[in-house]
Amino acid sequence: MDFLSSLATLTIHWGALLFVFLLFVAVVTVAVMYWVDTHQTVHTIRRNYPVVGRFRYLFEHLGEFFRQYFFAMDREERPFDRAERSWAYRAAKKVDTTIAFGSTRSLETPGDIFFLNCAFPTLDEDAAQPKEICIGEFTAKTPYRTRSVVNISGMSFGALSKPAVQALSKGARKAGIWMNTGEGGLSPYHLEGGCDLVFQIGTAKYGVRNHEGQLDDAKLLSLAEHQNVRMFEIKMSQGAKPGKGGCCRAQR
């Protein structure tokens, strides 16, 4: 019992001493800060509000983390908001990135684009023609003018079958839109429908390469002479199907 009571007395004694010591250190630290703050000439806040002014810098620093984790909305940050970042994290981990119905974007900003079902067919007098755009107005001998907004993206013959290319070509003609050949070269089936064509030059240069695999200027010129080939597109690299690509051997 004696031992316990002397241990308790000793603990209180040293505890009190430690407390007084820490208090002393705190008072001295605050006094030093006060002196430093009132004598420095760099930070106005610290000079006018010695010691407490320092909290501003601390909170400014912490605010960044608080905002990021607690206060910032999913679509608020720049250059990439939280929704975009978490999409990228999921994709990097090969976790499903499918996003369900309902947008988290603000869709009230002027200029936002909507694709909506038309409850009733649009009347001719209400229909607005898309604005004409001109590609190569100042640079091309034959600039390309079009009003089409939705076109057919590059899908190479080889990846697509003959009837598919024929159907797309005819459909594009009817719809007044352009069709991209994809990197597999130009086939007779692309020309069948008579639509505008964009010839895609892929990394393997199918359709415009010589035997050494270099760009063949003569082939390129003869392609450009086709009335329907309105533009050339240079594909810089393969993204969707690495190692594969177009397989139009006849066009090599």
Ligand X SMILES: Cc1cc2nc3c(=O)[nH]c(=O)nc-3n(C[C@H](O)[C@H](O)[C@H](O)COP(=O)(O)O)c2cc1C
Q: Which residues here bind ligand X, judged by CB under 6 A?
A: 153-156, 159-160, 182-184, 200, 235, 240, 246
Nearer to ligand X, 193 or 246 (CB): 246
Cis peptide before 79 (omega within 30 of 0): yes
- The residue type found at 217 is D
Rounded Cα gap, residues 20 and 138, in angstroms:
83
Residue nearer to ligand X on the CB measure, 184 or 193: 184
CB of 209 to ligand X, least distance (A): 15
- Closer by beta carbon to ligand X, 37 or else 183: 183
37/198 with CB nearer ligand X: 198
CA dist 231 to 88, 115, 130, 182, Å?
A: 34, 28, 20, 12
Position with the least CB separation from ligand X: 182
Q: Show the tokens assigned to 99.
A: 């996003």
Is 103 exposed, middle or buried, given 0-12, 13-18 or 19+ CB atoms closer than 10 A? exposed
CB of 149 to ligand X, least distance (A): 14
Closest CA to 193 of 155, 221, 163: 163
CA pair distance 139, 153, nearest whole angstrom: 24
Instruction: Compare residues 159 and 229 and give the one whose CB is closer to ligand X.
Output: 159
**Which C-beta is closer to ligand X: that of 37 or that of 197?**
197
Minimum Å gap between C-beta 89 and ligand X is: 22
User: By the 8 A CB rule, do 181 and 190 touch?
Assistant: yes
CA angle, residues 139, 140, 144, in degrees to nearest 5:
120
> Where is 59: in which H helix or E strand?
helix 54-66
The H or E element that residue 146 is part of is strand 144-146
CB of 186 to ligand X, least distance (A): 12
Residue with Cβ nearer ligand X (156 or 166): 156
Query: Rounded to whole angstroms, how far apart are CA atoms 86 and 90?
Result: 6
Provide, rounded to whole angstroms, the least separation between the CB of residue 241 and ligand X: 7
Least separation, in Å, of the C-beta of 223 and ligand X?
Answer: 16
Tell me the closest approach of the beta carbon of residue 154 to ligand X, in angstroms. 4
